């Protein structure tokens, strides 16, 4: 079946921010004597701050009060570390897709205020829908946010392509019956095997998108 729409994860795909999120989590947990690794966090990406805090807190033996404190400190650290960066070729890719009439959305475990602000400032005319952790009862790895995005774009789930960088997002997209392109921005391919395609950069992502969408996009 020819695909019609593309759904992009946010952190680690639309914006280069996962390293900053990790540093914020690492610093927050370190205040309680807990050491976390990049892979430990990156494999959880997409689930939202509450789920991640409770999972890692419980894993490392922290109390509920300590988990609440870690979550608060994570936000504080992130606001200090945060600097907006984008991946090479991402803007060019979405611009070409937009000019070819491809409906696009962001589907993320991030919070609405932070994500919407960046989308409005840098991608306001590209994405027709934004689905965040605040918009669904069940986030990734459940299919709910992806299905909501497809509904907002008025396309069938099976007509959607999802670009993800983490296992939880891949799992949710596959559960929604969507085709998944994984990109190795934060994890190596061994963590991304559930995806239909694995790309090393956005030039390769674009190649797969053009093939699946069945469009011939001319370079500038």
Summarised one tens digit per residue, pLDDT across range 140-164 is 999 999 999 999 999 999 999 999 9
70 shares a domain with 34 = yes
Q: How many domains does the chain have?
A: 2
How large is the angle between the packed helices 167-175 and 144-153, nearest 10 degrees? Answer: 60
**Residues with Cβ < 8 Å from 24, sequence gap 6 or more?**
74, 75, 77, 78, 80, 81
209 shares a domain with 143 = yes
**Residues with Cβ < 8 Å from 87, sequence gap 6 or more?**
13, 16, 185, 201, 202
pLDDT of residue 220: 47
- Catalytic residue positions? 9, 11
54 shares a domain with 140 = no
68 shares a domain with 145 = no
Cα 47 to Cα 55: distance, rounded to the nearest angstrom: 10
Cα 173 to Cα 3: distance, rounded to the nearest angstrom: 14
Report if residue 145 sits inside a domain.
yes
- CATH number of the domain encompassing residue 191: 3.40.50.1000
Summarised one tens digit per residue, pLDDT across range 175-189 is 999 999 999 999 999
pLDDT band at 75 (very low <50, low <70, confident <90, very high): confident
Average pLDDT over residues 84-92: 94
User: pTM value?
Assistant: 0.86
90 shares a domain with 40 = no
Cα 146 to Cα 174: distance, rounded to the nearest angstrom: 10
Summarised one tens digit per residue, pLDDT across range 113-141 is 989 999 999 997 899 999 999 999 999 99
Q: Where are the alpha helices (DSSP H) in the chain?
A: 18-30, 38-42, 49-59, 64-81, 90-99, 112-122, 144-153, 167-175, 202-213
């Amino acid at each position: 079946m020819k695909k019609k729409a593309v759904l992009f994860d946010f952190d680690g795909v639309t914006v280069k921010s996962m390293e900053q999120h990790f540093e914020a989590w690492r610093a927050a947990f370190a205040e309680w004597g807990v050491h976390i690794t990049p892979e430990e966090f990156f494999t959880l990406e997409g689930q939202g701050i509450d789920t991640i805090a409770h999972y890692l807190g419980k894993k490392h033996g922290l109390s509920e009060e300590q988990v609440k404190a870690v979550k608060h400190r994570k936000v504080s650290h992130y606001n200090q570390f945060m600097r907006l960066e984008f991946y090479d070729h991402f803007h060019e890719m979405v611009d070409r897709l937009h000019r070819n009439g491809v409906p696009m959305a962001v589907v993320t475990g991030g919070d609405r205020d932070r994500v919407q602000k960046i989308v409005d400032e840098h991608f306001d005319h590209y994405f027709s829908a934004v689905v965040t952790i605040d918009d669904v009862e069940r986030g990734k790895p459940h299919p709910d946010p992806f299905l909501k995005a497809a509904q907002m774009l008025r396309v069938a789930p099976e007509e959607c392509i999802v670009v993800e960088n983490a296992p939880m997002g891949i799992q949710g997209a596959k559960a929604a019956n969507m085709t998944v392109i994984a990109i190795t921005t934060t994890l190596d391919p061994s963590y991304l095997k559930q995806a239909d395609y694995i790309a090393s950069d956005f030039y390769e992502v674009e190649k797969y998108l053009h093939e699946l969408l069945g469009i011939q996009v001319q370079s500038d």
